[in-house]
Amino acid sequence: MATQSALGYKHPCRYCEKLVPPNSNVCPFCGKVNPLGPLRCPKCKNPIQRDWKKCSNCGLSLEITCPKCGKVTFFGNYCDHCGACLVVICPHCKTEQPLGSDKCIKCGKLLK
């Protein structure tokens, strides 16, 4: 009997190009999150493209500075230069969240 994750056509992972099940949240081969589907703006959830400088819907800058290597990279899940996961941890409640906001998504306190 097939499992739910094995049903349907497999799709290439956006990071390693290996074929993964259609409902994957993590690539079983490279281990990176969000391996499928369109990239979306972290603010308005509008579809975006890797070569864009700003979101076409809300104008959010899609370029950020990687906290690990200090280089400017596309606002995605991982740095294009060093491969570091692009997240910040709230110093107050320790919630892990995407870069780009000044306030914690859980406790609402300033992240800096």
What pLDDT does 1 receive? Answer: 41
Contacts of 94 (CB under 8 A, 6+ apart): none
Is residue 108 within 8 A of residue 95, CB to CB? The reply is: no
Residues 28 and 56 in one domain: no
Does position 67 have pLDDT exceeding 60, yes or no? yes
Residue 93 has pLDDT above 60, yes or no: yes
Tally of domains in the chain: 2
User: Do residues 61 and 80 share a domain?
Assistant: yes
Could you tell me if 28 and 54 lie in one domain? Answer: no
Beta-strand relationship, 63-65 and 47-48:
unpaired
Report the pLDDT value the prediction gives residue 99, as an integer from 0 to 100. 75
Based on the domain organization, do 64 and 10 belong to the same domain?
no
Residues 57 and 110 both lie in one domain: yes
Q: Are 64 and 78 in contact (CB under 8 A)?
A: no
| 56 and 104 part of one domain | yes
Measuring CA to CA, which residue among 24, 22, 55 is closest to residue 40?
Answer: 55
Phi, psi of 11 (to 5 degrees): -125, 150
**Residues 50 and 23 placed together within one structural domain of the fold:** no
Q: Which residue has the higher pLDDT, 107 or 5?
A: 107
Question: Based on the domain organization, do 54 and 80 belong to the same domain?
Answer: yes
- Scored b (16 or more CB within 10 A) or e, 22-41 reads eebeebeeeebebbbeebeb
The three-class DSSP label of residue 72 is strand
- Same domain (yes/no): 68, 91: yes
Residue 51 belongs to what domain range? 46-112
